[in-house]
Amino acid sequence: MVLFCDWSSLMMSSVKVECVIKAGALIGEGPLWEESQQTLMFVDIAGQKIHRWRPTTNQSESVETEDFVSFVVPRVSGGYLAGMGRSIVAVEWSTQMMTSLVELDEEKPNNRLNDGKVDPRGRLLAGTMGREKRPAEVQRQQGSLFSVTSDLSVTKHLTQVDISNGMDWSLDQKTFFYIDSLSLTVDAFDYDSDSGRLGNRRVVYHLAEGEGLPDGMTVDADGRLWVAIYNGGRVLNIDPETGVCLQTVSLPVTKTTSCCFGGPDFSDLYVTSASLGLDQSERRKQPLAGGVFRVSGLGVKGRPSVSFSG
């Protein structure tokens, strides 16, 4: 059964929301906590930058890219993988060198990569979408969902995707959670972690029309989902077993894009946001749009990210 969330529900009094990076990103996305460095990685898709922020010193570094950059993940062999345009590229942070490894959706030059994440076995899953005319306005059913293994073998799992977005896995690795934003749903698949095969698609949660679009998400250490709602200014905490929204975290910006847990004990929820598409009046009302927010006091913890096995 799929239930709807009462998005007017109040946050618990212990919860604190603060803007920790006034990035002014056009499309801030893909937050990832790098445990070994105790840093937060995120991208500005349209701003064509990969950012790395260290909370202990409040210092930020960035690398510029040659095209839209939609995600960044660490590699076991060192450095990072990023989704740039339609290519998966290797990023050497110290030299800012980028090397294209494999191109996806070669037959669709107007597509670009969107969200990507590494599964518990170290393979990369990454989705595509058509280029936007305006934010979240695309030619529909142009995208796909792919996986990339350490030897750069590519498998296409889904087609006719509108905006491939948030993804994560259940604690037992047997369920893959996935968002195609324009469907307004969070879906689940049976997941074979040995082969990476998907099956038995079903809806876990459905937003009502006008509530915003489900965007990026993460799974906490209790197996519950945290879903950023684009044009909704909030993050929903959802129990995937019941379809019940357990909690709503409201942000002072409307274009919330994605989230991840981080901090020394993974108890802080970091939320990215966008400013692209806001008019002048909205920008005046949302001076922190495009910033990164830290939500503390939630009483839950996240899980470490996984590095790409190649």
Known binding-site positions for substrate? 112, 114, 132
Would you state the structure tokens that stand for residue 214, as one six-digit string?
A: 């489900």
Binding residue ranges for a divalent metal cation: 29, 165, 215
Please say whether the beta carbons of 255 and 273 come within 8 A: yes
Can you tell me which residue has the tokens 């040659």? 66
Residue 263: how many CB atoms within 10 A of its CB? 18
Binding residue ranges: 29, 112, 114, 132, 165, 215
Q: How many CA atoms lie within 13 A of 156 on its CB side?
A: 11
| Closest residue by Cα to residue 274 from 241, 230, 234, 232 | 230
DSSP strand pairing (59-64 vs 69-74): unpaired
Q: What counts of helices (H) and strands (E) characterise the chain?
A: 1, 24
d(CA 151, CA 246): 40
Please say whether the beta carbons of 204 and 238 come within 8 A: yes
d(CA 305, CA 40): 11
The catalytic residue positions are 215
Given strand 49-54, what is the order of strands in its sheet?
28-34, 39-44, 49-54, 59-64
Can you tell me which residue has the tokens 């993804």? 167
